[in-house]
Structure 1
């Protein structure tokens, strides 16, 4: 008999809080949808807790760590009530409020997964919350007026692993578990490419959202990379410094494109007949590269009012055109390498 709570969590609620990811999720093979969808819901709830700036960072961190413990098997109904009372009440988006109020049922669904899927979901949510913990411990309170930068590129690289690269590993684990024999490459090779895939998408987010993040005190551009250009994090608050900081943007774009090349190899390792799985990889790559094309042409990339955001009708165009090329290795490679070439020509 169908479980109505599970159906609601992984249906209407997931659609309400996941936006574009829901498109990717719906195209996945059936066996992968529940564990990946549940992992997304739990991570989204944790992210909402971590980002609710009307609550002190210390309080958010305590609730975040409590949620991590409960994902890993602890029971704390009082903490769940605090999340519902203290965090949900601050949400403008009703779906996020409902999500926080539904954590108990979501944890029940987690307990109903197979042992292997439950272990994988616990591991990915644990790692993702470590990335959120990194933010809360590294950067000042958003309301303090202070700003801090990461120290070196290694910090940025680790951050992109914690909040996105690990998702590539998880995705790969789910594929081997639910679609055995699909991936012909060795698991270690695919896991490494999956990490780069996630890092490519997160680096795209970091560069696109730089202006906005700076205004809540977070500079993900490492100070060691700012130093050669005589820049400090606070200098990046001035949109006119976008051109002055462009050499750093170019340097980070080149690293991001290297990750996208690994993402291409990951996608081509999926057999052409696995159309759904290929589309789930192809869409974020094409949308990410479209974002970088906008970014590389944006002379005011540090201005939060001029974010390089792909328009919705462009997303739909990308999705439609991908249906014509997804089954051909040559067409997929050409589409992605063409976009990479266009970006490199502008660097």
Structure 2
């Protein structure tokens, strides 16, 4: 965490500054796309995003760290301990020793984020310890409410909106879901290694395959055109969710749009990389080429600088980024991608 970011966010307590720094380290280490996009936000909002990501990453590591020798029972107890710390931090009812909870609790108070988003998130994390597959997209959707949709809803108060927050909320939730669907497709092989498959059984059955066929392909390295058809259909479904999310970018505070647009372009670009690689995700991870990432990042930087200059030149009310701030009255326009 840079001193400049913490000072801009008025984070002065040494323990709290260290907690935010820990979250920033998690974001930089594990969330390359998110970290890059976060750097396009105004400096005073970056610590909050790092705190939200740090909490989600910490919980996810408890559940999914393949290098850990912890048993499912030990992971479940660790999640319960994290939830107890979260309860203490949000309600200020006891001592909090976990840095990510210290930073998260401070962010929640500063931005008035609904506590239910975090309990819903942990409920989905717990299900990962016992649920290894899903019958339908409806079942996957219920899981993703807690694991993905609430991430977009947590972010919305930090990003700010140019109109009523509730109008932007469905699009923010859709973007969280779209990002996770991309993760599911990119990481399908790694998830099988963890004993989970997020592609629903109904989708596999529609193309004449089952989970055992996916496991066979992962194990042997052999290809099956029916599996490719499943993955192609999953990508098409994912792109439809991105389309649902897209109108929400124009509903954000203008100074936040370059961050989310950059994340949108880069993450949806993973689908392009998967397609270009022949849907070989059971055998290797598809990535956006470095040159493409650099071009998108540069475009985002140009947009961010222009938005901040326009914000400084424009007098009057600002976007709804903090509960105490008045709402911007700028018209909503479709954001190009």
Calculate the TM-score normalised by the size of structure 1.
0.73
Change (3 A) 1:157 1:107: closer
Question: Which structure has more helix as a fraction of its residues?
Answer: 1
> Which residue matches 1:134?
127
Instruction: State the distance in 1 between where 2:236 and 2:62 align.
Output: 33
> Which residue matches 1:43?
56
SS in 1 for 2:128: helix
CA contact (8 A) 1:39 1:121 kept: no
Q: CA deviation at 1:164?
A: 1.5
> Which residue matches 2:270?
291
> Which residue matches 1:66?
81
> Which residue matches 1:9?
19
CA contact (8 A) 2:152 2:173 kept: yes
> Which residue matches 2:233?
251
Q: CA deviation at 1:76?
A: 8.3
RMSD between superposed Cα atoms in Å: 2.9
Q: CA deviation at 1:324?
A: 4.5
> Which residue matches 1:94?
none
CA contact (8 A) 2:262 2:296 kept: yes
CA contact (8 A) 1:208 1:301 kept: no
Q: CA deviation at 1:254?
A: 2.1
Q: CA deviation at 1:245?
A: 1.7
Q: CA deviation at 1:295?
A: 1.1
> Which residue matches 2:139?
155
> Which residue matches 1:24?
37
CA contact (8 A) 2:40 2:300 kept: no
CA contact (8 A) 2:265 2:296 kept: yes
> Which residue matches 1:144?
none
CA contact (8 A) 1:204 1:292 kept: yes
> Which residue matches 1:197?
175
Q: Deviations over 1:84-122 (max 9, x none)?
A: xxxxxxxxxxxxxxxxxxx534444555557464x6274
- Say which structure, 1 or 2, has more relative contact order (CA 8 Å, 6+ apart): 2
Q: CA deviation at 1:207?
A: 0.6
SS in 2 for 1:138: coil
Q: Deviations over 1:218-276 (max 9, x none)?
A: 111111211122211121131434522222223222221122113321112235xx23x
Change (3 A) 1:302 1:45: closer
Change (3 A) 1:242 1:208: farther
Instruction: State the distance in 2 between where 1:262 and 1:296 align.
Output: 21
1:208 alignment partner, one of 183, 186, 193: 186
CA contact (8 A) 1:242 1:299 kept: no
CA contact (8 A) 1:201 1:284 kept: no
> Which residue matches 2:315?
none
Q: CA deviation at 1:202?
A: 0.6
Does residue 311 of the first structure (1) align with residue 304 of the second (2)?
no
Change (3 A) 1:332 1:243: farther
Higher mean C-alpha deviation, range 56-65 or range 156-165: 156-165
Structure 2's unaligned 5+ residue stretches are 1-10, 308-331
CA contact (8 A) 2:117 2:150 kept: yes
Q: CA deviation at 1:292?
A: 0.7
Matches for 1:266-281 after TM superposition, within 5 Å:
266-270=248-252, 274-275=254-255, 277-281=256-260
Q: CA deviation at 1:187?
A: 2.6
Instruction: State the distance in 2 between where 1:129 and 1:191 align.
Output: 20
Instruction: State the distance in 1 between where 2:106 and 2:187 align.
Output: 37
Instruction: State the distance in 1 between where 2:104 and 2:180 align.
Output: 26
